[in-house]
Chain A
Amino acid sequence: MATEQPTWERFDRRRRLSRFVLLLVAAVTVVASWRFMDTGVARPETIPREIADLLTRMYPPDVAYTTQIVQPLIETVQIAALGTLGAILLAVPVALLAAENTTPNAATFWLGKLIVTVSRSVNTIIWALFFVVLFGSGPLAGAVAIVFRSIGFLGKLLGEEIEEIDFGQVEAVRASGASSAQILLYGVLPQVKPALVGLSIYRWDINIRDSTVLGFVGAGGIGVELFRAVNAFAWQSVAMVLIVILGVVVVTESLSAYTRGLVR
Chain B
Amino acid sequence: MAAGNRTWERPTVFRRREVKWAVYVGIVGFVLWSGVGVGADPARIAQGLGSAGSLVGDFLPPSATPRQAQRIADKMLESVAMAMVSTLTGIVLSVPIAFMAAENLSPKPLYAINRGFISISRAFNAIIVGIIAVKAIGFGPLAGILTITFKTVGFFSKLLAEDLEDIDMGSVNAVRASGASPIQTVLYGVVPQIIPRFAGLSVYRWDINIRTSTIIGIVGAGGIGSVLLTAFNRYDYQYVTAILLAIIAVVLVAEGVSAVVRRRYT
Name A residues whose Cβ lies closer than 8 Å to a Cβ of B. Answer: 26, 29-30, 32-34, 36-41, 47, 50-51, 53-54, 74-75, 77-79, 81-82, 85, 117-118, 121-123, 125-126, 129, 131, 133-135, 138-140, 142-144, 209-210, 212-213, 216-217, 220, 223, 226-227, 230, 238, 242, 245-246, 249-250, 253, 262-263
| B1-50 residues at the A interface, CB under 8 angstroms | 13, 30-31, 33-35, 37-41, 44-45, 48-49
Q: Which residues of A contact B122 (CB under 8 A)?
A: 249
In the bound complex, what is the Cα–Cα distance between A123 and B248 (angstroms)? 10
Q: Which residues of B contact A118 (CB under 8 A)?
A: 248
In the bound complex, what is the Cα–Cα distance between A97 and B136 (angstroms)? 47
Q: Which residues of A contact B37 (CB under 8 A)?
A: 74-75, 78, 139
- Contact between chains at B215 and A37 (CB < 8 Å): no
Interface magnitude class on chain B: 35 or more
- Contact between chains at A36 and B78 (CB < 8 Å): yes
Contact with A along B129-143 (1 / 0, CB 8 A): 001100111101110
Residue among B48, B51, B81 making CB contact with A36, cutoff 8 Å: B81
Query: Knowing that A39-B140, A135-B45, A140-B48 are A-B contacts, what are 4 other residue pairs whose CB atoms are under 8 Å apart, sorted by A's residue number?
Result: A33-B84, A54-B135, A212-B125, A250-B123
Q: Is B119 an interface residue (CB 8 A)?
A: yes
Contact with A along B200-212 (1 / 0, CB 8 A): 0000000000010
Contact with A along B60-83 (1 / 0, CB 8 A): 000000000000000001101110
Q: Which 4 A-B pairs have the closest CB atoms?
A: A33-B81, A78-B34, A249-B123, A213-B127
- Contact between chains at B39 and A209 (CB < 8 Å): no
Q: Is B100 an interface residue (CB 8 A)?
A: no
Q: Is B167 an interface residue (CB 8 A)?
A: no
- Contact between chains at A246 and B136 (CB < 8 Å): no
In the bound complex, what is the Cα–Cα distance between A50 and B127 (angstroms)? 19
Q: Which residues of B contact A210 (CB under 8 A)?
A: 125
Q: Which residues of B contact A41 (CB under 8 A)?
A: 137, 140, 142
